[in-house]
Amino acid sequence: MGLSLGRAPRRATLLLVVLGLLWGLWEGWRWVGMHFALTWPFTVDDITMPHLHKIVQALFQPAQVNGPWLLDILWHASLFTAKESAVGLALGAVIGFAIAVVVSQSRILERGFIPYVVASQTIPLLAIAPMVVVGLGSKGITDWVSVCVLAAYLTFFPVTINTLRGLQSADPRAVELMHSYAAGRWRILWKLRVPAAMPFLFSAFRIAAPLSIVGAIISEPSASIQGGLGGAIVNFNQYYSIEPQELWATNLIAALLGIAFFLAIVGAERLVVRRAPEHVA
């Protein structure tokens, strides 16, 4: 742990260097594209690639005359979408975990059930969104809850698949050891298989966390929610050909939200998973 003090500044430097490189790449490509009038793979102009500083500037300007800063709007939209995504992620994690635990109890159940779990992910979210929104709406449930359900629909899948692998990853001799203690199925599950699955569970959460945000953003328009990032994206889409930097700025904020979720998972993993250092990614 003593090393982390020296590591923090080094990491910050690395982050700045990478950000600088990305900025240089963007602006460099823009300059080359405009200078040589490239049309492949796309025409470079102020619409397709606005200056990065313009995108950042847009955050600190009102989106509408006399309105609040764009950053202010997007901050509130992010909080709203973050709430939907967090609830959706939690819901998806619980459901995904529960399915894996149930299915892991029998080979037949696994063979019979998992194909449907896989099939569920081939149905586009947009196709089931109206059903969920109308269905839950008719029961008088608040619209943002249906967004959570749709986000959960995306996130449960990696959780189920990874948990299942994790539950089966327990050392066979450790299982024998549990048998020697006369441990039953549930004891083996809770004392051995679930703890052994934790690293697998967290790699699923790493995938599921940004996915929950994508799910929420895509589902918001279906639920006619204006206040989230999805609403903001739909709104700024309409002005893209005039003021592209506002949509770009929204995308930037959505990406930052995704990174924040990812880092929250990494942090939780550090707290929960006790593993040999080489196992900690």
Q: Which residues bind another protein (CB under 8 A)?
A: 171, 173-174, 176-177, 179-183, 187, 191-192, 195-196, 198, 273-277, 279
| Minimum distance, C-beta of residue 2 to another protein, in the bound complex (Å) | 16
Query: How many C-beta neighbours within 10 Å does residue 17 have?
Result: 10
Please measure the distance between the N-terminal and C-terminal CA atoms of the chain and give it in whole angstroms.
16
Listed in order, strand segments (DSSP E) in the chain are none
Distance CA 29, CA 26 (A): 5
Pick between residue 174 and residue 266 the one whose CB is nearest to another protein. Answer: 174
Pick between residue 36 and residue 186 the one whose CB is nearest to another protein. Answer: 186
- The sign of the dihedral angle between the CA atoms of 26, 32, 38, 44 is positive
| Minimum distance, C-beta of residue 7 to another protein, in the bound complex (Å) | 21
| Minimum distance, C-beta of residue 118 to another protein, in the bound complex (Å) | 30
Pick between residue 65 and residue 278 the one whose CB is nearest to another protein. Answer: 278
Q: Which tokens sit at 281?
A: 């990614």
The CA distances from residue 101 to 7, 97, 228, in Å, are 39, 6, 34
| Minimum distance, C-beta of residue 198 to another protein, in the bound complex (Å) | 7
| Minimum distance, C-beta of residue 176 to another protein, in the bound complex (Å) | 5
Phi, psi of 69 (to 5 degrees): -55, 150
Pick between residue 51 and residue 187 the one whose CB is nearest to another protein. Answer: 187
**DSSP string over 145-169:** HHHHHHHHHHHHHHHHHHHHHHHTT
Pick between residue 11 and residue 187 the one whose CB is nearest to another protein. Answer: 187
| Minimum distance, C-beta of residue 207 to another protein, in the bound complex (Å) | 22
Distance CA 71, CA 85 (A): 20
42 φψ region: left (φ > 0), alpha (ψ -120 to 50), beta (else):
beta
Q: Which tokens sit at 247?
A: 């949509």
- For 192, which DSSP code? I
| Minimum distance, C-beta of residue 270 to another protein, in the bound complex (Å) | 13
Distance CA 175, CA 173 (A): 5
Pick between residue 140 and residue 184 the one whose CB is nearest to another protein. Answer: 184
Pick between residue 170 and residue 225 the one whose CB is nearest to another protein. Answer: 170
